[in-house]
Amino acid sequence: MRGKKKLIWMGLIIMIISAAAYFALFGGKAVSVNLAKVQRGNIQEYIEEKASVELENKADIYGLQSGVVTLEAVDVGDRVKTGDVLLKIQDEELLLNIKALELQKQAAEAKLEEAREGISQWDLQKLEAQEKAAQIAYEEAKRVAENNKKLYEAGGISRDIYDSSVAALASAEASLEVVKSSLAAAQEGFSPNIEKQFKAQIDEIQIQINHLKSKQKDYIVKSPIDGIVMLAEAPQGSAVPQGKLIFQIGNYDDMFLTSDILVDDIANVREGSEVLISNEDLGIPDIKGTVRKIYPQAFSKMSDLGIAQKRIKAEISFDEAVNNLKPGYDMDIKIVIASSQNTLIVNEKAVFDHEGKSYVFINNDGAAKMVQIDKGLESDDEIEVLKGLNEGQEVILSPDESIEEGTKIKS
């Protein structure tokens, strides 16, 4: 009897221990969790970057001549057409030089006629005196031009002042040659050779006149394209130095994006890659674009944290119309580097790493079950599941330390 009672007590103890274990595992209070189903869908993997809005057709206009602005015809925001006058620069000195050369030409033509008709002894003496005066004027013009060249090369004077002294030297030289030819013609008598010399001098003066007249267009600045004035930096009455940026004209009808992409990411980007473009502040959702150009050379750029990074510039075209964009706006872009259609997808909050492998907890009849998975593509909030789960299964989102194998759960 004692043996049987002992066996009965041992059986009861085992039952009590088993019941306690079962209760500890399955009979305790259920943990509240958030569940999500494994579904089929499409997923894209992409690179996220910032991009800047640029104008397809933009013109930077620089002053070709220095001087005082006598007319500023447009201001920032004005619409202009190709050929519209934007600005005029004072050209009085240029006109005076042209007038002086035209007078020299007339004088040379008159001397030619005199040479053809002959000359008196009195006129011969006047020509000799004129030659001396012309020689002195030439030497002085030469001295001034040489000094101005040195000053210009040292940055002491403007190009206009230097050009004026060169023009004055050419004018003095032409005047000297005219007088010399006249004197020679008077001394030797008129001949075909003398006539050729006069005509050559007249032609040379005309070349100088034509050259100065060709520069007149540089004093009137015109728009090279249709567009909107984005920059106007030469108000009326201001002095404009040669080579200064005075206008920017842009055509807002055509825009594109530029983005500086990390070298580590560029290997996965191709010309023709799909791009999703957005800007939450501007109310622009994901609109489609395309990588149209990848530049061939990398460059260094400082990150916001002050770290030098190697990047590659890329251009992105808009595949859809976008309103209210301005050049210089920053946009968020996602460059699609891979995609998968009709595949199993799980919320990324369900996936965690353990000992170098990826896992999820699934809902196994009200209890948590840990399942290993093989991951595929990853987006912001979804992960492709290549192996380990079936469509329709429920996974636990953001499991914490209270969840382990066999934990009772409720949603």
Note whether 272 and 294 are within 8 A (CB): no
Collect the ranges in the chain with pLDDT lower than 70: 1-28, 114-124, 185-194
Instruction: Check residue 9 and give its pLDDT.
Output: 47
Quick check: helix, strand or coil at residue 182? Answer: helix
Angle formed at CA 359 by CA 354 and CA 364, multiple of 5 degrees? 130
Is residue 380 within a helix (H) or strand (E), and if so which, with residue range? none
Note whether 104 and 122 are within 8 A (CB): no
Closest CA to 153 of 212, 161, 169: 161
Phi, psi torsion values for 402, nearest 5 degrees: -80, -10
Rounded to whole angstroms, the Cα distance separating 30 from 402 reads 10
Q: Report pLDDT digits (tens) over 131-174.
A: 888 888 889 989 988 988 888 888 878 887 888 888 888 888 88
Residue 215 DSSP one-character state: G
Instruction: Check residue 187 and give its pLDDT.
Output: 65
Instruction: Check residue 366 and give its pLDDT.
Output: 92
Rounded to whole angstroms, the Cα distance separating 344 from 392 reads 10
Instruction: Check residue 319 and give its pLDDT.
Output: 92
Q: CB-based contacts of 403: which residues, under 8 Å, 6+ apart?
A: 31, 33, 361, 368, 396, 409
Note whether 369 and 359 are within 8 A (CB): no
Size of the chain, expressed as the number of residues it contains: 411
Instruction: Check residue 397 and give its pLDDT.
Output: 94
Note whether 33 and 198 are within 8 A (CB): no
Instruction: Check residue 128 and give its pLDDT.
Output: 80
Note whether 257 and 51 are within 8 A (CB): yes
Six token digits for residue 219: 């004093």
Q: Report pLDDT digits (tens) over 85-118.
A: 888 887 777 788 888 888 888 888 887 776 666 5
Closest CA to 115 of 105, 127, 104: 127
Place of tokens 């957005």: 278
Note whether 359 and 371 are within 8 A (CB): yes
Is residue 402 within a helix (H) or strand (E), and if so which, with residue range? none
Alpha-carbon Rg for the chain, nearest whole angstrom, is 44
Sequence-ordered strand ranges (E) for 213-366: 220-222, 227-232, 239-240, 245-262, 274-279, 284-302, 308-318, 330-347, 352-354, 357-364
Instruction: Check residue 382 and give its pLDDT.
Output: 93
Q: Where do the H-state alpha helices sit in 221-371?
A: 263-266
Rounded to whole angstroms, the Cα distance separating 135 from 183 reads 13
Calculate the alpha carbon distances from 287 to 49, 129, 301, 321, 391 in Å: 15, 84, 28, 9, 30
Q: CB-based contacts of 269: which residues, under 8 Å, 6+ apart?
A: 47, 261, 291, 294, 314, 335, 337
Rounded to whole angstroms, the Cα distance separating 359 from 350 reads 8
Show the 3-state SS of 32-91.
Answer: ECEEEECEEEEEEEEEEEEEEEEEEEEEEEECCCCEEEEEECCCCCCEECCCCEEEEECC
What is this structure's pTM? 0.55
Six token digits for residue 247: 């206008």
Q: CB-based contacts of 213: which residues, under 8 Å, 6+ apart?
A: 98
